[in-house]
Amino acid sequence: MNKLWDDLKDNMKEWGASAVEKAEEISRVAVAKGEEFTKISKIKIEIMQLEKERTKDYEKLGKLVHRYAQDDNMVNFTGNTEFFEIIKKVNNRNVEIDLKNNNIADIKKAYGIEDDEIGFKQNYQNNIGQAEEE
């Protein structure tokens, strides 16, 4: 009976040590993923700001086109620097948004993070103003 009791105690010690090791490993992974989730969230906020600025640029562009069409009956913007400056801003913001989305994808890939783990889908709204056109 003593041998049985000693074996049981030894097994319990092994299981306990194994459980502690596993818990430590899980907590390390959770901390690492938490840091990556924070990085991703920060980038998503930056993307939202860029999208907001892009929307304002589209609004400026629309007002410019409306003004020229109504006041001057002109819809040809060849050589109009104001028009092309706004277009350039929109294009630059689109590039920045794409880079940030790629950065998020790289972080997810490097750390094995799935979209459902962080509760949102990757933002591909940059496929030229889909939200603005709808």
Q: What is the pLDDT of residue 9?
A: 75
Q: What is the pLDDT of residue 123?
A: 47
Q: What percent of the chain has pLDDT over 90?
A: 47
The two three-digit tokens of residue 105, written as one number: 């994808």
What is the reported pTM?
A: 0.67
Q: What is the pLDDT of residue 41?
A: 94
Q: What is the pLDDT of residue 39?
A: 92
